[in-house]
Every structure is written in C-alpha cells, then in structure tokens.
C-alpha cells in the first residue's frame, strides 16, 4: 500500500505504483485537466512519473506561475519541432524559458518575421495533434552517439557528469532536456512567435551566429490577447520615441550610451530633483558631493580595482592611474573620515546626486534604461547597531511617500546571506534581523530571497509597478559590513571607546536617467502639472496680440510657472494641435477679446476650454495644484 499525502493533509491510498495523472483524475477529471506537472517530496517531475513509495505530492496547475513556465518550456519544444519540419537541416542548440515567454537558438539560414505565419501554421498542427511528451533516459555515451550529428548538443552533453541523461519525445521529435513537461502538446493552447534576432553560440563572438526565435505562450487565448495589447500600449509609450517627440533628450554616436538632455528634459530633471531634495531635507538628510575621478589607491582600498576594473573608465594623469567613479560610495567614506565622530552625531544621513560611469557593451545599451553615464540618488547612513530598525523604517517611509506621489505601487524583497560573504555570524544575524524587524513594523508584505544578499550584507530590494502593471527594480536598501571595515570608519561611543558604525547604502530613484525613462512610459508622456517640463504655453491668435501674450507669459513665469509661448504665423488650430502633441497640460489662447478683457482662454489636455479666466483666478487655481503635487488634471 502506498500513501500519497496531498497539501491539505488528505491521504490517497494506492495498491501499487501510480502516476500523478491517475492520482489527479482520482480527485476529479476537471482537476486533472488543469494539472501540468507535480512535485513529489519537493522534486519537480512529470505527471506521468510513477509514484512508487509513500510521498507528499503537490500538483502544479494552469493557475500556477510555475505551471506557466513549464508550459512555455514545452512550447519551445513545439516550436523547435515545427522548425525542423520546415527546415530539416537546422541544428537545435538551447531553448530556455525567459520572462514573458521563451526563445530557441537554432543553427539555420536567416529568417524574418515574414516567415512566422508558415511556422505558426506548422506549430498549430503539432498543438492540435496533442502529442504526448515522453521522457526517456540514456547513458552519456548513448546520448553522445544519438546527437553525433549535432555539434552543439554534443558539446553540452560532454560537459555533463557521467550518469543518465534525459531526452523528451513528442511523436517523431526528440530533444535533449531535463524537463518536466506538460502531458501533451495540446496543453500549449496558444503560441505566438514574437521576433527573431542573431545570437552567437554561448554569447561568444568567435563562435557561430545562430537564429534566436522568441515566442510566448498562454493557457488562454484571452491572456495572449491581453498580453499583446499590453505590448502595443508599451510601444506607444516607448520612452525613446517619446523622448524625441517631446524634445526631452537625445543620444549621439560621439558619446555612445551617454544621454544629452535638452531644455525641456532639464526642466523635467530639475523638477524631479527639486522634489527629491525637498523630501530628503524633511527626512533629515544633508546633501554632499564627491569628485567624479579618484586615484587607483582608493579603488584598491574599496575593492573595485580588483573586482570591477573591467567596467571602469581609467586615465593616466602625471604617471598615476585614476578611474572615473562607477559608484559614489568610496567618496562617501572619505567624507565621513574628515572628522572624528561621537555616538551623539549619529545617525548621519548623507545624500549625493552623483554622476557615475560604467562600461556597458554597446549591444545592451537601451535608451535611458541602460546607459554608460548616469546619476544615482545615493545616500549613506552611518549609525549604531541599535539604530538599524528605526533607520530602515525611516527609509521605507520615505520610499512610500515618494513613490506614491508618482502613482507607483511597489513590493519589497529581503535578500539574506549568500554562500560567499564577509562578516561574522553574529553581525549577519543582527543586520538581517534589523531589516526584518523594520519590514514587519512597516506593515507591508515582503518576499524573502534566501542567499541572495550582497557579499557585504543583507539588502531590501524595492520593485515598483507602473501604469501598465510592469515591475522595475529601482530602489534598494543595503547594509554594508565591508566598506566601514576597509576604510576603518569609527565613532566614539558612550563608553569613550572606538566602535565601528553600521552603514546603509540606499537609493530611491536608483539611476535617475532610468527612473525618468520609467516615468515617461508610466505617464505616456502626459506628466502631471507639477512635473511637466512646460506647464503652460501661451498661444497668440495673431501678431496684434503678441505684446499681450508676452505680458501673460512674463507674469506667469514670475509666479513660478514653467512657460513657453507660440508666436508663429500659424493658425490657432495648428498651435493647439502642436501643443497637444507636446502634451503641455495648459494651453492659454489669447486674442483681441482676451486682451481687451485682460483674460485667458484656458484649454486642458482633455479638450475642455474655459473662457474669460483672469490671470489672478488662473494662478489661484494652478499654484495650489502644483504645490500639492496633485496628479489629476486642473479643472476650471
């Protein structure tokens, strides 16, 4: 008799070995149809695997994220079979699951998206055939013989340890794979090819160039439709296109990966930083600034020269090596050491908007999201061990206050001690418990990533969610037991003895350039009034009212608004249209009637127009709206 324990404690009895699929059918036929795999005593495996001894079984269903990943892995096999059916000489390499789908690298002649319809037609035949996925095992020697005509697979097999190697069959198609897979190809439901690009075998430019086919798959056609709609919406919001259309920034080959900010972009930049400075001053931070270039000795002391040298830009000055800083932290250590500190001085909260440079390969550069020169809103907090919980809680409160202003939700992840780390068990326990206690006290849910902390301390990663539901890791809070030791940072305690301070690194925006890119897409370029690069534009009906238009602009600028004026010899309809395309929140039309009455016609981006608004009434409505950083449109 075999006892199978389900997650709710129910025990299913079997007279002999039984497959997971049969156990699922015993629960209900409907439940079995939704099962894609199972965990037997914590080990992930196919539903067809026989359960031969007493075991705890958890079924993975179409409702589970893990189930979606398993199905997408199976979808990669379906796509690979379709490719071989159409291109028999193609050689398969690897096809992993990635975020939102999968890809397969294949040695074959170049193809384009024009070839996708015929490939998808073949894919749909395989899905409709509902071919079972069958797992088989081979010895290493047998596997090498089986794949003797595929140099890519034999290379992979040669690197495996001796022992059994698994392959999966679906009809006449076979692929090297650990598994598990869904029971049959029919569970793939919907599969769509997304794009194709070139990719070197194992990322090595000296190795063969392969075709990388990207695809996605869902259990439900509605989910695929929703996903494709999201992609279309994301294309419309692409910060690179909007950055050009709104005249915010540009890139030039003379400084690859280093953005040039235009006048409007700088207005946006300054508004973002003004808010940062205001909130940090309230939270008890001081602002500092450290040099952009420091000598090799400092980077050796910090450990960057040894561990990060290939990502740093260097220069030889008067026979001494210097490096442009890839991060602000070592300079912050030098600032701390400029004077002696008492426990009464702590905590010290020092922020810096620091320009850093990191060498990124040209192939990974992507608008403002991946650049070589960027600013970090770093802050270093120096404190005693007893202050850890309160300081972390203070940072979390600041994070919540700032992100909510932009309408950004977020979730938290606590990463604990990795295998390779510095510091004592006691230090790690105190640091981790300090972070955990602060998270618990914050009242927010969080996920624990065991063993995913930095080598120098545990950390909290902050993942924001934008208007499209996409998540971005921007903020982070890291406890550091490395740099205070390397730079011999101390303070004098109440016992009149020297002690080592605890140090926090933290960013909220992260890379300010990247955060700006996220905001551009989050708002689709329609920034709230307080943040908009141009808050209002004066549109003159004709040359006769140009003087009044300039007077209006001057008065509103004097009141603190970011203003532009359009005096072109164009129709008022074209001026309004151009202002709408520039997503300027307020369009102030002035003609002879407005000049005579000393009023404005105020148009908002939703198309509403209010006539006869005096400058005083306009400011009384707009200024409080800006001061409160109200995210909504102003109503007149």
Q: Which residues are annotated as a binding site?
A: 329, 380, 505
Q: How many CB atoms lie within 10 A of CB 573?
A: 8
**Dihedral of CA 445/449/450/453: which sign?**
negative
Whether 459 is catalytic:
yes
Task: Return the exposure string of 462-482: e unless at least 16 CB atoms fall within 10 Å of the residue's CB, then b.
Answer: bbbbbeeeeebebbbbbbbbb
What are the residues facing 199 on neighbouring strands? 210
403 and 392 in contact (C-beta within 8 Å)?
no
d(CA 371, CA 128): 45
69 and 44 in contact (C-beta within 8 Å)?
no
Question: Would you give the DSSP letter of residue 343?
Answer: G
Q: How many CB atoms lie within 10 A of CB 109?
A: 8
Looking from the CA of 106 toward its CB, the CA atoms found within 13 Å total 26
Annotated catalytic residue within 378, 461, 466, 566: 378
Whether 497 is catalytic:
no
Annotated catalytic residue within 349, 505, 575, 603: 505
Annotated catalytic residue within 358, 370, 553, 562: 358
275 and 398 in contact (C-beta within 8 Å)?
no
Token couple for 317: 């000055």
What are the residues facing 382 on neighbouring strands? 348, 503
Nearest Cα residue to 210 out of 136, 309, 103 = 103
Whether 121 is catalytic:
no
Whether 378 is catalytic:
yes
Q: Checking phi first, is residue 629 left (phi over 0); if not, alpha (psi -120 to 50) or beta?
A: left
> With 0-12 CB in 10 A as exposed, 13-18 as middle and 19+ as buried, what is 117?
exposed
> With 0-12 CB in 10 A as exposed, 13-18 as middle and 19+ as buried, what is 549?
buried
d(CA 19, CA 49): 5
Query: CB within 8 A of 117, min separation 6: which ones?
Result: none
Residues that constitute the known binding site for Zn(2+): 329, 380, 505
Q: How many CB atoms lie within 10 A of CB 439?
A: 22
373 and 258 in contact (C-beta within 8 Å)?
yes
> With 0-12 CB in 10 A as exposed, 13-18 as middle and 19+ as buried, what is 635?
exposed
Annotated catalytic residue within 35, 329, 474, 534: 329
**Peptide bond just before 216 cis, omega within 30 deg:** no
Whether 380 is catalytic:
yes
Helix (H), strand (E), coil (C) string for 451-503: CCCECCECEEEEEEECCCCCEEEEEEEEEECCHHHHCCCCEECCCCCEECCEE
What are the residues facing 609 on neighbouring strands? 603
d(CA 33, CA 25): 8
Token couple for 423: 């510091």
Annotated catalytic residue within 91, 280, 380, 514: 380
Whether 358 is catalytic:
yes
- Residue 115's alpha-carbon distances to 83, 209, 622, in angstroms, are 11, 19, 54
Helix (H), strand (E), coil (C) string for 14-26: ECCCEEHHHHHHH
Backbone phi and psi for residue 466, each to the nearest 5 degrees, phi listed first: -90, -175
In degrees, to the nearest 5, what angle opens at C-alpha 57 toward C-alphas 56 and 59? 160
Which ranges in 475-587 belong to alpha helices (H)? Answer: 483-486, 512-522, 546-558, 572-581
Annotated catalytic residue within 459, 553, 583, 625: 459
Backbone phi and psi for residue 573, each to the nearest 5 degrees, phi listed first: -65, -40
Residues labelled as active-site residues? 329, 358, 376, 378, 380, 459, 505
């Amino acid at each position: 008799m075999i006892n199978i324990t389900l997650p709710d404690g129910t025990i299913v009895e079997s007279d002999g070995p039984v497959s997971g699929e049969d156990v699922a059918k015993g629960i209900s036929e409907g439940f079995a149809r939704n099962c894609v795999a199972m965990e037997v005593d914590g080990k992930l495996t196919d539903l067809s695997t026989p359960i031969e001894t007493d075991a705890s079984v958890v079924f993975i269903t179409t409702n589970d994220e893990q189930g979606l990943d398993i199905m997408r892995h199976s979808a990669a096999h379906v796509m690979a079979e379709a490719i071989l059916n159409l291109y028999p000489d193609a050689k398969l390499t690897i096809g992993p699951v990635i975020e939102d789908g999968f890809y397969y690298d294949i040695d074959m002649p170049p193809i384009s998206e024009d070839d996708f319809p015929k490939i998808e037609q073949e894919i749909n035949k395989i899905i409709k055939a509902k071919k079972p996925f069958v797992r088989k095992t081979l010895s290493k020697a047998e596997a090498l013989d089986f794949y003797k005509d595929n140099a890519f697979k034999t290379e992979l097999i040669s690197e495996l340890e001796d022992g059994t190697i698994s392959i999966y069959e679906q009809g006449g198609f076979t692929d090297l794979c650990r598994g598990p897979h869904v029971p049959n190809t029919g569970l793939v439901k919907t599969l769509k090819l997304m794009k194709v690009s070139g990719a070197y075998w194992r990322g090595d430019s000296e190795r063969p160039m392969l075709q990388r086919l990207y695809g996605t798959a869902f259990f439900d056609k509605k989910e695929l439709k929703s996903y494709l709609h999201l992609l279309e919406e994301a294309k419309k919001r692409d910060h690179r296109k909007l950055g050009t259309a709104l005249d915010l920034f540009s890139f030039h080959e003379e400084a690859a990966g280093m953005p040039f900010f235009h006048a409007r972009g700088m207005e946006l930049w300054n508004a973002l930083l003004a808010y940062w400075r205001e909130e940090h001053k309230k939270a008890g931070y001081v602002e500092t600034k450290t040099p952009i270039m420091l000598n090799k000795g400092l980077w050796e002391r910090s450990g960057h020269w040894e561990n990060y040298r290939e990502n740093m830009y260097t220069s030889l000055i008067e026979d001494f090596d210097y490096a442009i800083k890839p991060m602000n932290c070592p300079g912050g250590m030098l600032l701390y050491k400029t004077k002696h500190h008492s426990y009464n001085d702590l905590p010290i909260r020092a922020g810096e908007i620091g320009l850093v440079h990191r060498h990124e390969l040209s192939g990974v550069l992507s608008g403002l999201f991946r650049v070589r020169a960027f600013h970090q809103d770093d802050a270093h907090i120096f404190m005693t061990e007893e202050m850890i919980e309160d300081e972390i809680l203070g940072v979390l409160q600041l994070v919540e206050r700032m992100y909510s202003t932009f309408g950004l939700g977020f979730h938290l992840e606590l990463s604990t001690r990795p295998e390779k780390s510095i510091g004592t068990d006691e230090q790690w326990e105190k640091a981790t418990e300090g972070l955990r206690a602060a998270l618990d006290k914050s009242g927010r849910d969080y996920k624990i990533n065991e063993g995913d902390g930095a080598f120098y301390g545990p950390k909290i990663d902050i993942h924001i969610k934008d208007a499209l539901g996409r998540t971005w890791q921007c903020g982070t809070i890291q406890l550091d037991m490395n740099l205070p030791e390397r730079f011999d940072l101390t303070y004098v305690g109440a016992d009149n003895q020297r002690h080592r301070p605890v140090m926090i690194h933290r960013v909220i925006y992260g890379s300010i350039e990247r955060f700006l890119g996220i905001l551009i897409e989050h708002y689709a370029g329609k920034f709230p009034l307080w943040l908009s690069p141009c808050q209002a534009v004066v549109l003159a009906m004709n040359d006769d009212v140009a003087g009044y238009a300039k007077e209006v602009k001057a008065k509103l600028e004097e009141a603190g608004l970011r203003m532009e004026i359009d005096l072109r010899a164009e129709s008022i309809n074209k001026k309004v249209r151009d202002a709408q395309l520039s997503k300027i929140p307020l369009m102030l039309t002035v003609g002879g009637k407005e000049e005579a009455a000393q009023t404005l016609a105020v148009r908002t981006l939703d198309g509403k127009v209010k006539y006869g608004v005096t400058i005083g009434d306009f400011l009384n409505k707009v200024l409080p709206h800006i001061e409160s950083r109200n995210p909504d449109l102003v109503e007149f």
